[in-house]
Amino acid sequence: MIEAVGLTKRYGAKTAVYNLSFQVRPGVVTGFLGPNGSGKSTTMRMILGLDRPSAGHVTIGGHPFRQLPNAPRQVGALLDAKAVHGGRSARSHLLSLAQLAGIPAQRVDEVLGVVGLQDVAKRRSKGFSLGMGQRLGIAAALLGDPQVLLFDEPVNGLDPEGILWVRNLMKKLAAEGRTVFVSSHLMSEMALTADHLIVIGRGQLLADMSVTDFISANSADFARVRTPHTEPGQREKLTAALMEAGGQVMSEPDGALRVTGLPLPRISDLAHDADVRVWELSPHQASLEEAYMRLTQGAVDYRSTDDRLAHLQPPQQPGHPGYGMPPQPVVQDVPQQGWYAPPPPGQNPYAGAPGQQPVPGPYAPPAAQQPAAPQPSDTTKDAR
Amino acid sequence: MIELEGLTKRYGAKTAVDHLSFQVRPGVITGFLGPNGAGKSTTMRMMLDLDNPTSGTVRIDGKHYRELQEPLKYIGALLDAKAMNGGRSAYNNLLCLAQSNRIPERRVSEVLDLVGLTPVARKKSKGFSLGMGQRLGIASALLGDPEILMFDEPVNGLDPEGIHWIRNLMKALAAEGRTIFVSSHLMSEMALTADHLIVIGQGKLLADTSMADFIQENSRSYVRLRSPQQERLRDLLHAHGFIAVEAGNGTLEVDGATTEKLGELAAENGLVLHELSSQRASLEEAFMQMTASAVEYHAHGTDVHGGAPAPGPQWGTTSQGA
Amino acid sequence: MAAVSAVLQSEWTKIRTVSSTVWTLASALIVTVAIGAALSAVFNSTFDDLSEVERATFDPTLVSFFGMTLGQLAMVVFGVLVVGTEYSSGMIRTSLAAVPQRATFLFSKVTVAGGLAFAVGLATSFLSFFLGQALLGEHRASIGDDNVLRAVIGGGLYMGLIALFSMGVAAMLRSSMLSLGILMPFFFLVSQILAAVPKVKEVARYFPDQAGSKIMQVVPDAMNTEEAPYGPWAGLGIMVLWVVAALAGGYLVMKKRDA
C198: left (phi over 0), alpha (psi -120 to 50) or beta: beta
Are C10 and B96 inside 8 Å of each other by CB?
A: yes
* pLDDT band, residue C237 (cuts 50/70/90): very high
Q: What is the DSSP string of B94-117?
A: HHHHHHHTT--THHHHHHHHHTT-
pLDDT by residue (tens digit) across B247-297? 877 888 888 788 888 888 888 888 888 888 888 777 887 787 777 655 544
Phi-psi region of A49 (alpha: psi -120 to 50; beta: other; left: phi over 0): left
Which ipTM value was assigned to this complex? 0.87
Mean pLDDT of A348-359: 36
**Per-residue confidence band for B30, with pLDDT thresholds at 50, 70 and 90:** very high
Interchain contact C/A (3 or more Cβ pairs less than 8 Å):
no
Rounded Cα gap, residues C23 and A252, in angstroms:
62
Cβ A186–B155 below 8 Å, yes or no? yes
Calpha distance B157→A174 (Å, rounded): 26
Q: Nearest Cβ partner of A168 from B160, B303, B321?
A: B303
pLDDT for A81: 56
Average pLDDT across chain C, whole number: 92
Minimum Cα–Cα distance from A168: chain B residue: B302
User: DSSP secondary-structure letter at A343?
Assistant: P
CA-to-CA distance for B158 and C233, rounded, in angstroms?
Answer: 59
pLDDT for position A369:
36
Q: Determine whether the interchain pair A161/B291 forms a contact, defined as Cβ–Cβ distance below 8 Å.
A: yes
User: Across chain A, what does the average pLDDT equal?
Assistant: 76
Residues B10 and B149 sit within 8 Å (Cβ to Cβ): no
Give the pLDDT confidence of B68-114 residue by residue, as tens digits: 989 999 999 998 777 888 889 999 999 999 999 999 999 999 999 99
Using an 8 Å CB-CB cutoff, list chain B residues near A131. 36, 297
Distance CA A170, CA A192 (A): 11
Q: Is A309 on the interface with B (CB under 8 A)?
A: yes
Dihedral-angle region of residue A258 (phi above 0 means left; psi in -120 to 50 means alpha; beta otherwise): beta
- Please, which residues bridge with residue C51 across strands? none
Whether C97 and B71 lie within 8 Å, measured CB to CB: yes
Q: Is the pLDDT of residue C247 over 70?
A: yes
Which one has a higher pLDDT value, C163 or B312?
A: C163
Nearest residue in chain B measured CA to CA from C10: B96
Using an 8 Å CB-CB cutoff, list chain C residues near B45.
Answer: 93, 258-259
Report the alpha-carbon distance of residue C132 to residue B302 in Å, rounded: 77
Quickly state the pLDDT bin for A235 (edges 50, 70, 90).
confident
For residue A312, give the amino acid letter. L
User: Whole-prediction pTM value?
Assistant: 0.78
Neighbours of chain B (3+ CB pairs under 8 A): A, C
- Cα angle B283-B288-B290, degrees, rounded to a multiple of 5: 95
Number of cross-chain residue pairs from A and B with Cβ atoms under 8 Å apart:
224
Q: Could you tell me which residue, C213 or A335, shows the higher pLDDT? A: C213
Whether the pLDDT of residue B49 is over 80: the answer is yes
Distance from CA of B86 to the nearest CA of A (A): 19
Query: What is residue B245's predicted lDDT score, i.e. its pLDDT?
Result: 86
Look at A163 and B185 and tell me if their CB atoms are within 8 Å: yes
Q: B97 with B70: CB under 8 angstroms?
A: no
| pLDDT for residue C163 | 97
Give the mean model confidence (pLDDT) for residues C27-51.
93
For the segment B111-170, what is each residue's pLDDT rounded down to a tens digit? 999 998 999 999 998 888 888 889 999 999 999 999 999 999 898 888 888 888 899 999
Higher per-residue confidence, A380 vs C80: C80
Rg (CA), chain B: 24
CB B118 within 8 A of CB B175: no
What does the buried/exposed string (b/e) look like for A34-65 if buried means 16 or more CB atoms within 10 Å of the residue's CB? bbbbbbbbbbbbbbbbebebeebebbbeeeeb
Helix segments in C99-206, DSSP class H: 102-136, 148-173, 176-185, 191-194, 200-204
Counted across chains B and C, CB pairs separated by less than 8 A come out at: 105
pLDDT band at C35 (very low <50, low <70, confident <90, very high): very high
Q: Which residues of C touch B107 (CB under 8 A)?
A: none
> How is residue A15 annotated by DSSP?
E
pLDDT the model gives residue B213: 86
**How far from each other are the two terminal CA atoms of chain C, in whole angstroms?**
19
Question: What local confidence, expressed as pLDDT, does residue A291 receive?
Answer: 78
Radius of gyration, CA atoms only, chain A: 25
